[in-house]
Structure 1
Amino acid sequence: MKAITDYQNKKVLVLGLAKSGVNAAKLLKRLGALVTVNDKREFDDNQNAKVLLEEGIRVITGSHPVELLDENFELMVKNPGIPYSNPMVKRAQELGLPIITEPELAYEVSEAPWIAVTGSNGKTTTTTLIGQMLNEARTTGHAYDAGNIGIPASQVAEKATADDQIVAELSSFQLLGITQLHPEIAVLTNIYEAHLDYHGDRAHYVAAKMRITMNQTPDDYFVMNWDLPEMHELAKQSKAQIVPFSRQHVAGARAYQEGEWLYFDSERIIKASELQIPGDHNIENALAAIAVARLKGVAGSAIAAVLRRFTGVKHRIQYVTAFNGRKFYNDSKATNVEASSVALTAFDAPIVLIAGGLDRGLSMADLTPLVKQHVASMVVYGETAPLLQQVAQDAGVPVERVEQLPEAVRVAYEQSQPGQVILLSPAAASWDQFKNFELRGDQFIETVAALEAEEK
């Protein structure tokens, strides 16, 4: 970790906890900052706040009191999930208080160079693949996954050395709070319509994603999905060397699929049929990772070895188990229609779809043709259940509505036939019934395991 003095005796407000907030507060204290943490959750039910208080950090819980900003803070480190419409954040902006997110702080202290990955879908899979490829047959240092993948970047940055590499998954929420973060390689997997309740409109969402390249120079690389025409225009905003990838073998792509093979700069890497993760979208994720790994000098044989054994990341079209002729997949990370659309096209077998979650006021209609083509029946729950019922009815697919996910799993199994896939792909955020998509996916896995034990 770099021994920086920028935060010595600097009054810093950490707004919002969770993993990233806790690690940011601890790091700031070690850097000599005068840290105050403010979290909306009540203290008695706030283990993170208790931990920080025990370490001598000032903690204010139970609300976000705007008057706290009268204390002349010099910086706010904001939890990415707190929107800029929050009164506390709006007041900080009015005061001209700099607002950053935890990855920016991590980058400032990091000795290791960064690779940064963003996109509407595929971020976690691509980040994980890159990390494994960079570590395959590595003789010096280590590549660490970090960021939105679930490991706070500041936690990793403290231990990573100049011989290491940080591969950071960055969300649009996190990217809005960076100023200096400068990846030597940036990746944009794709851009669809997502998080508009946070960003306001698509233009602001796209602008947030493009911040991943804003500090890059002509010595850096920007890996982009060339199958999306929008990327060709967005590429003009970057000073980095553009490295396109394309599943459709669009002209100019350096990583691409041609016939049954995946290539980089005319070098055969692996047959698409050898990938262990299903779906065309995962071919795109593999191509993005191949591009990064080859740019970093990883041998094609090492890249292929990783792809042959990689079976996916948890909660993203994750194979769970199979019994009585049914296969179960957990795609809890599909928090929008686009992500679920990808999952529905990933299987050859008929699907019993479990979907539902937080109603953000967005249309589900785009799912209808895919449901009609790929889904045998649906079980829906949560706030979006009425919208998903309408999708099923429009598609001519049987549908049953339940209240909770465990019940949905059991009903889906009862509806299913041997040879079918039972897929949790919610097409909505988890926050109506779960704190995060991970807990939703974990409950799905636990319910499936209990069901399997009963069926034996």
Structure 2
Amino acid sequence: MKNVEQFHGLRVLVLGLAKSGSAAAQLLHSLGAIVTVNDASPDEGNEEVAILRSKGIQVICGGHPIGILDKGFDVVVKNPGIPYSNRVVVEALAKEISVWTEIELTSRISEAPIIAITGSNGKTTTTTLLYHMLNIGEQQPLIAGNIGTVSCSVAEKAKEEQVIVLEASSFQLMGTETFRPHIAVWTNLYDAHLDYHGSSEAYAFAKSAITTNQTQEDYVIYNADQPGLLPYVMDSLAVKIPFSLLGRREQGISADDEQIYWNGEPYVKRSIIKLPGQHNLENILAATAAAILSGCDKTAIENVLSSFTGVRHRMQFVKELHGRKFYNDSKATNTLATKSALAAFHAPMILLAGGLDRGQSFEDLRPYMETVKAVVALGETAGRFAVFAASCGIKEIIHAENVKDAVQKSYPLTEVGDIILLSPACASWDQYESFEVRGDEFIEAVMQLQ
């Protein structure tokens, strides 16, 4: 670790536990900070609370006491999911107390350079692709961030000769001050999480923090096919590396129907790529560019492109049963992701969709519903999705209690050559703890089919 002396004696309030809060609290405590943890949940039976207290860290549970900031904290490190409307966060900002997320800690202590990936969609696939490229290329990568591994814990042990591949959400990036990746990747920009950020502009501005502190020694890889993203990137001081699906470009990485090009020169044939979908080609271009800039061997990149078939819960091929193929796209928590999934296939589909009702429209999906022969609707939006499907001319529409029930009801609707696709277009929280739990139930139900 580097710059650890900056934390000695620092008075820190860690707001919210979960994995990131617990990890940040323990790291800061080990570096000599005076740490207090505050979580709204009760502490009874909470193993994390017991561990923190055993280390001498003060933990206050069961709510946010009035006047908690009167202890004179220098910094608040908050769980990314805690909104900025939270009373403690509002008060901290009013008192001009810095409010960080744990990726700010990561940037401050990491000896290893950081490659950070953000975007409305494609973050996890791009992160995973890049990690595999660097790993096969013997670059000693570490994977961290929104993908499931707490980044400050990874940075604590990272060596100078390694590289951290970090998936960064808008929630995490909003809580940064000095965060500076050597390579920043911005896959795309669509409206998302507006209930958290309040507006499209605020959401985009939060994303742009991935390149705010970069210098001429750094790189930003960005989607050149999205005009709305460009103003945020053009302000960056980093070397700009565009990627595009609209044919050969002389700068950056691009693709046409036959080739991927690097700075206008043929680099690899598209025919070797195993991962389906145009949206995944964007992810491939972004990951490949980052790998090239990291000095990764071309053979390693080709190896991954010719073998990688997807990330769990993201257009994941599950099984073929009697000529029917099952795909798990539980990560599709909005219409944009489901639109990409529908566009990736040309065979007749049975679509399993629905979930948490945030009042969103499904109209974006209409041009992509032509190959859908049947819909199994579930969750809070089942009724609305059924109405939408009927308006698209779909005759077979069935309601299911949950994902397991949806799988069982979908199979009798199929014929040889059909695809059964779980791509909900909604968040999972009406019935499931997470999209991972929802996807796991789909996989288990598919495996139980005879």
Q: Does structure 2 conserve the Cα–Cα contact (< 8 Å) formed by 1:264 and 1:290?
A: no
Distance 2:397 2:304 in 1: 39
Deviation at 1:400, TM superposition (A): 1.6
Aligned to 1:77: 77
Aligned to 1:382: 379
Any idea what SS the aligned residue of 1:166 has? strand
Deviation at 1:412, TM superposition (A): 1.6
Q: Does structure 1 conserve the Cα–Cα contact (< 8 Å) formed by 2:205 and 2:232?
A: no
Q: 1:416 to 1:45 in 2, by over 3 A?
A: farther
Q: Does structure 2 conserve the Cα–Cα contact (< 8 Å) formed by 1:358 and 1:432?
A: yes
Aligned to 2:98: 98
Show the 5 A alignment for 1:395-414: 395-397=392-394, 398-414=396-412
Q: 1:434 to 1:253 in 2, by over 3 A?
A: farther
Distance 2:441 2:257 in 1: 40
Bigger CA drift: 182-191 or 361-370? Answer: 361-370
Q: Does structure 2 conserve the Cα–Cα contact (< 8 Å) formed by 1:226 and 1:253?
A: no
Distance 1:2 1:282 in 2: 36
Please tell me the residue identity of whatever aligns with 1:48.
E
Deviation at 1:446, TM superposition (A): 1.6
Bigger CA drift: 87-96 or 322-331? Answer: 87-96
Any idea what SS the aligned residue of 1:309 has? coil
Deviation at 1:415, TM superposition (A): 2.1
RMSD: 1.6
Distance 2:326 2:18 in 1: 30
Q: Does structure 2 conserve the Cα–Cα contact (< 8 Å) formed by 1:381 and 1:405?
A: yes
Q: Percent identity?
A: 49
Distance 2:251 2:282 in 1: 12
Q: Does 1:43 align with 2:43?
A: yes
Q: Does 1:265 align with 2:273?
A: no
Deviation at 1:253, TM superposition (A): 4.4
Q: 1:390 to 1:48 in 2, by over 3 A?
A: farther
Q: Does structure 1 conserve the Cα–Cα contact (< 8 Å) formed by 2:249 and 2:263?
A: no
Q: Does structure 2 conserve the Cα–Cα contact (< 8 Å) formed by 1:226 and 1:250?
A: no
Aligned to 2:68: 68
Please tell me the residue identity of whatever aligns with 2:144.
A
Deviation at 1:246, TM superposition (A): 0.8
Deviation at 1:296, TM superposition (A): 1.7
Q: Does structure 2 conserve the Cα–Cα contact (< 8 Å) formed by 1:66 and 1:91?
A: no
Show the 5 A alignment for 1:375-454: 375-397=372-394, 398-451=396-449
Q: Does structure 1 conserve the Cα–Cα contact (< 8 Å) formed by 2:258 and 2:271?
A: yes
Show the 5 A alignment for 1:292-331: 292-331=290-329
Q: Does structure 2 conserve the Cα–Cα contact (< 8 Å) formed by 1:120 and 1:189?
A: yes
Deviation at 1:233, TM superposition (A): 3.0
Distance 1:273 1:423 in 2: 24
Deviation at 1:352, TM superposition (A): 1.0
Deviation at 1:74, TM superposition (A): 1.6
Q: Does structure 2 conserve the Cα–Cα contact (< 8 Å) formed by 1:353 and 1:378?
A: yes
Q: Does 1:9 align with 2:6?
A: no
Gaps of 5+ in 1: none
Aligned to 2:169: 171
Show the 5 A alignment for 1:364-375: 364-371=362-369, 373-375=370-372
Aligned to 2:179: 181
Please tell me the residue identity of whatever aligns with 1:376.
K
TM-score by length of 1: 0.94
Deviation at 1:232, TM superposition (A): 3.4
Aligned to 2:87: 87
Q: 1:421 to 1:195 in 2, by over 3 A?
A: same
Any idea what SS the aligned residue of 2:6 has? coil
Distance 2:107 2:40 in 1: 27
Q: 1:45 to 1:389 in 2, by over 3 A?
A: farther
Distance 2:171 2:66 in 1: 22
Aligned to 1:353: 351
Gaps of 5+ in 2: none
Distance 1:66 1:382 in 2: 38
Distance 1:269 1:45 in 2: 56
Q: Does structure 2 conserve the Cα–Cα contact (< 8 Å) formed by 1:197 and 1:360?
A: no
Q: Does structure 1 conserve the Cα–Cα contact (< 8 Å) formed by 2:244 and 2:254?
A: yes
Please tell me the residue identity of whatever aligns with 2:218.
D
Q: Does structure 1 conserve the Cα–Cα contact (< 8 Å) formed by 2:12 and 2:76?
A: yes
Bigger CA drift: 51-60 or 20-29? Answer: 51-60
Aligned to 1:119: 119
Deviation at 1:210, TM superposition (A): 0.8
Distance 2:229 2:3 in 1: 38
Show the 5 A alignment for 1:238-257: 238-249=236-247, 251-257=249-255
Distance 2:67 2:239 in 1: 46
Distance 1:46 1:362 in 2: 36
Distance 2:25 2:37 in 1: 7
Deviation at 1:113, TM superposition (A): 0.7
Any idea what SS the aligned residue of 1:108 has? helix
Please tell me the residue identity of whatever aligns with 1:197.
D
Bigger CA drift: 304-313 or 250-259? Answer: 250-259
Deviation at 1:171, TM superposition (A): 0.4
Deviation at 1:308, TM superposition (A): 0.8
Please tell me the residue identity of whatever aligns with 1:442.
D
Q: 1:27 to 1:276 in 2, by over 3 A?
A: same
Distance 1:258 1:250 in 2: 6
Measured against aligned partners, the alpha-carbon deviations of 1:352-388 in whole angstroms (never above 9, x if no partner) come to 11112222222222112212x2211111111222331
Please tell me the residue identity of whatever aligns with 1:25.
A
Any idea what SS the aligned residue of 1:441 has? helix
Bigger CA drift: 442-451 or 154-163? Answer: 442-451
Please tell me the residue identity of whatever aligns with 2:30.
R
Measured against aligned partners, the alpha-carbon deviations of 1:280-338 in whole angstroms (never above 9, x if no partner) come to 11111111111111112223222111111112111111111111221111111111111
Q: How many residues align?
A: 449
Deviation at 1:251, TM superposition (A): 4.4
Q: 1:279 to 1:45 in 2, by over 3 A?
A: farther
Distance 2:356 2:66 in 1: 28
